[in-house]
Structure 1
Amino acid sequence: MLSNLRRGSLAVFILAIGTILTDPVAGLSQELPRVTVHRVDLIEMLRTGRWDTLDKQLSAYQMKAEKDPRFEMNAMAAFGAFDAGNSLISAKLNDWVTAAPNSYAALVARATCEIAIAQRLRGDGPGEDVPQETHAAVDKELQAAVRDAGEAIKIHPNLAPAYALRIKAARIDGTSDEMARAKGDALSIVPGSFAVREQIMYALRPRWGGTRQEMQALADSSQYYAEQNPAMQFLKGWVSLDEGDDFANTGKWPEAIEKYTQALQTGGEYWTSYRRRAGAYYATQQWQKAVDDGLRSNSLYPDYSETVGMLAYATARVGEPDASILWIAEYMRFEMPDPQMFDLVKSDQIALKAQGKQNW
């Protein structure tokens, strides 16, 4: 396991310093190029105020995706580095936008973080269960995100990540008119973007007011663009993925695993399907399978907080406390830790001592 990570000391972790990266995993789709983005490197550029370098990196990923849509995954992963609930990241993004107000990369990065914060504040439950004061805070973040995305589009009109963010914001807490405008604008300008169509697919789920018939129709119609952007194949697994989520939400884990497996068979190696199945394996105490699926998801879409957090717990369960600590350190680059994470650190330290690795 540790061969997949840059090694660091336990003391470095405790100080929340140090870089952890996963090495490439062989066997990715022949049609889609490997995702090569190291998101923790991007966060480190942000932390140290290397705005120009960060801008050039993100802009290069975006321009390559526009020239060849097969590389859109890299652009999505790069901007996705800022899909984080860490308040320090948010503050640094404000500094970046202040220093470079005409940078579309800075605006999209900040909008990504604003939506992430809104989503974490809101939670996954029904909207009517969200307290009024929380609702106001969510609205504030989403409105800021929509403004930033809109300004970015003015600077660079073909900016698929910005259109995708507008759709996501409308889904979380927008009106039907706002959703219609966001979808219409995106599909008229960047119809072959997987990032855009993925967010439309999220919005078409029954829990957000759509239907599985609409989901299937979107998946089918999106295959028109599959030759230029093979990621469209992932949309074919979304109905099974959604069915799996329904089973997972009611604790029917074997049924959920079956549906997630169907999603992988139908839609190919989609990181979300692997991540969801990893969570289901973890819930059924199939620890090694959870690790395997988590690693696969992480190789396809690196350093997503949910995946990294799950790997921290799963590697501890399979008796790899050293790997678990490294995953925790990586998680803390993007998210604020919770009490359970600190408890995991303590248990990992005890396990390391029992293994004679107390000086690791």
Structure 2
Amino acid sequence: MTLKTIHSLLLSCFLLGLYLPSALAQVYKWVDEDGVVHFSDKPPVEQPKETDSPSNQSKHISESRAAERLVSKSTRWFQSMSQSQGITLTIRQLLRQRKYEYLNIVLEDLQSASELSYDKELELFTAYKAFRLDSNAYISLLDEWITYDPSQYYGYLAKAEYFYGAAWRARGTKAIKDTSADQLTNMKEVMLEAKEQLELVQNLFADSMVSYGLQIAMANSLGDESEVAIIAKKALEIKPASYYVRAIYLRTLTPRWGGSFEKMELFFKESSEFIRDNPKLTQLQGLIFLEAGQLASLQKRYDQAESIFDRALLYGDNDEVLANRGKSRYRQGKYQEALDDLNRAIGMSREYGEYYHWRGKIYSAMKQYSNSLSDFERAAQLMPNDKDLKQHRQRIETLLAKQSEGKAVAFKRSKALDQLDDAIKKEPSNALHYYSRSLAYIELKQYDSAVEDLKKAITHNPHEYQYYLSMDWLLIKRRDWKQIIYYWDIYLNLYPKDHQAYLERSGAYFHQGNIQAAARDAKMSAKLGNKEALAFYEELKQKL
């Protein structure tokens, strides 16, 4: 409905309101309490209406103001935290802390902002992608959130995102020819769970672009080409200039998904009529070149891929294109140019752990190990269970440990500490800064200071396994088995299925002399699949 139409309707209603009293003032008809019908040129005497008492009115005003304060407080908090650590980590923090009302308010704000401006779509899609969590520990929190207020759609949509991520973990990321039938079956089963959540979303809020985008991606993953087109058509009827819905649909038309460059070009031409409403749609043309460049990279034609990515960027700066060009340059040994690309990509979007992972690899190739470790730590916060990332982190940590023994110096010590001190002053609740400073203290053999910083790191982010492992290493020097057990207790309360953590705590119990507790933890670790723990448990059984 146009603004002009709305104004016309309001004017009509206003004139109708002026006309009706005079037109109907001639005769009144009413029925009294005894059932007798009356006619008169005067209106009947009305009974007094019930009104809220002053105390009730005061109560309503108080409740309204309290709700407004909560909205204002949550919005300010989210803006502050997301500027500091990004949207993804802030959303996950709210979920871990069970701040469900905050989540509802924040997601409603992001939805409203995206409806007012296409420029705000990215923040909304990013917020929901944060729920693609690689941990079963979060499913109970999502259920609890939904139970908190089942009339709101946000929790259902978040749970659908979670299941979508879980479905791809069940499938794996290899080509279809290298994917087993069981993996595909598992993926389909989990996708059905996501679909159930999206049906609930549609019942509560049928115009969610995030929901439509997810439906398109799911139908494409299941190979349902006709369903993909139907869903995309519905979504674009609601919001035709949505860049992110169009980008998601465009990816279903790629050669790797059974489409073609011709189909991609045709869809871009159809989309171009909306560029005036949303200039970002120009970048859809760049995504076609992105696909071509990625295909060249898969064939290890990295120089050609780099040239194709150059062409993609002619249609506008795009963080994904920049990151892919950076990868191609890295593979050609062009480390400084690769670093420049990843810096730009991260400057545009700091929400993707993959970007930090790749920049960390580039820093490692340039022998800037402290920068490399810092990026690996950031990547681990965004994708905590990535196996390749864990291996790269361990390698860098080993290099830094060797350097601290005198083979080399990874940090310019005083300068590094000064920089970290400044960083902590600016972001006193950033766990990564405390962890990084603890590593610097370890290099200086200032172990007590390192312990204190690790305590703060764990306080601000109790979910990082490496913090506990470093604390374990430091406390072993003190032979403080009680404290080691205390910190592993904290971690295992959060992640009760981490087999390596049980093995670490088992070792602490063993050195403490508590063989029974050591055996219990070793047995649990073995039960969860740790072969090293099984051998240790067999040894401990002989001592019981």
**TM-score (normalizing by structure 1):** 0.83
| C-alpha separation in 2, matches of 1:340 and 1:205 | 27
**Corresponding residue of 1:189:** 238
User: What do the CA deviations read for 1:324-352 (whole angstroms, capped 9, x no partner)?
Assistant: 33322332333243454333223323236
Residues 153-232 of structure 1 correspond to what in structure 2 (within 5 A)? 153-232=202-281
Q: Which residue of structure 2 aligns with residue 279 of structure 1?
A: 327
Compute the displacement of 1:123 (Å): 3.3
Name 1:78's counterpart in structure 2: 127
Give 5+ residue unaligned stretches, structure 1.
1-20, 25-35
> How far apart are residue 130 of structure 1 and its match?
1.9
- 2:199 aligns with 150
Distance 1:255 1:277 in 2: 10
1:243 alignment counterpart:
292
Please give the per-residue CA displacement for 1:73-98, whole angstroms capped at 9, x wherever unaligned.
Answer: 22122222223434444553343234
| 1:10-25 equivalent positions in 2, closer than 5 A | none
How far did 1:108 drift? 2.0
Q: Does 1:347 align with 2:395?
A: yes
- 3-state SS in 2 of match to 1:302: coil
Are the aligned partners of 1:215 and 1:238 in contact in 2 as well (CA < 8 Å)? no
What letter corresponds to residue 82 of structure 1 in structure 2? F
Letter paired with 1:205: T
Structure 1 residues 51 and 196: alpha-carbon distance in aligned structure 2, compared to 1, 3 A threshold: same
User: How many Å separate the matches in 2 of 1:22 and 1:329?
Assistant: 18
CA distance in 2, matches of 1:50, 1:80: 18
1:196 alignment partner AA: V
Given that 2:232 and 2:249 are in contact with CA atoms closer than 8 Å, whether structure 1 keeps it comes out as yes
Does the C-alpha gap of structure 1 residues 95 and 290 become closer, same or farther in structure 2, counting only changes over 3 Å? farther
Aligned partner letter, 2:377: A
Structure 1 equivalent of residue 45 of structure 2: none
CA 1:309–1:194 in structure 2 vs 1: closer, same or farther (change >3 Å)?
same
Cα offset, 1:41, TM superposition:
1.2
**C-alpha contact 1:146 1:165 (8 A) present in aligned 2:** no
The aligned amino acid for 2:294 is: D
Question: Which runs of structure 1 show a deviation greater than 6 angstroms over 4 or more consecutive aligned residues?
Answer: 21-24
Secondary structure of the 2:382 match is: coil
Aligned-partner residue type, residue 440 of structure 2: N
Q: What secondary structure, in the 3-state scheme, does the structure 2 residue paired with 1:343 have?
A: helix
Are residues 149 and 279 of structure 1, via their aligned partners in 2, closer, same or farther at CA, if it must alter by over 3 Å? farther
**Distance (whole Å) between structure 2 residues aligned to residue 217 and residue 309 of structure 1:** 35
Task: Tell me the distance in 2 between the aligned counterparts of 1:309 and 1:84.
Answer: 17
Q: Secondary structure at the match of 2:130?
A: helix
**Inter-partner Cα distance in structure 1 for 2:388 and 2:175:** 25
Aligned residue type for 2:324: R
Number of residues paired by the alignment? 328
Q: Specify every segment of 5 or more residues in structure 2 that has no aligned partner in the other structure, as ranges.
A: 1-80, 414-438, 442-544
Q: Distance in 2 between matches of 1:289 and 1:94?
A: 46
**Partner secondary structure for residue 355 of structure 1:** coil
Distance 1:102 1:327 in 2: 40
What CA distance in whole angstroms lies between the structure 2 residues aligned with 1:141 and 1:164?
17
Aligned partners of 2:376 and 2:389 also within 8 Å: yes
Partner of 1:12: none
Is this contact kept in 2: 1:90–1:114, CA < 8 A?
A: no
How far apart, CA to CA, are the structure 2 residues paired with 1:278 and 1:89? 33
Distance 1:314 1:131 in 2: 34
1:42 aligns with 2:91: yes
Retained in 2: the 8 A contact 1:83–1:113?
Answer: yes
Q: Relative to structure 1, is the Cα distance of residues 346 and 305 closer, same or farther in structure 2, using a 3 angstrom cutoff?
A: closer
Q: Given the alignment of the two structures, is residue 252 of structure 1 paired with residue 301 of structure 2, yes or no? A: yes
Matches within 5 A, 1:312-327: 312-327=360-375
Partner of 1:359 in structure 2?
Answer: 440
Give distance in 1, aligned partners of 2:386 and 2:205.
38
Superposed counterparts of 1:14-163, under 5 Å: 38-163=87-212
Change (3 A) 1:249 1:91: farther
Deviation at 1:191, TM superposition (A): 1.9
Identity level (%): 20
Q: Distance in 2 between the 1:65 and 1:269 partners?
A: 21
Alignment partner, residue 358 of structure 2:
310
**Are 1:271 and 1:300, in contact at CA under 8 Å, matched by a contact in 2?**
yes
The aligned amino acid for 2:146 is V
What is the deviation of 1:246?
A: 0.9
RMSD after superposition: 2.4
- TM-superposed CA distance for 1:145, in Å, is 1.8
CA distance in structure 2 between the partners assigned to 1:304 and 1:202 by the alignment: 19
Correspondence list, 1:328-347, <5 A: 328-347=376-395
Structure 1 or 2: more helix by fraction: 2
> Is the 8 Å Cα contact of residues 84 and 334 (structure 1) preserved in structure 2?
no
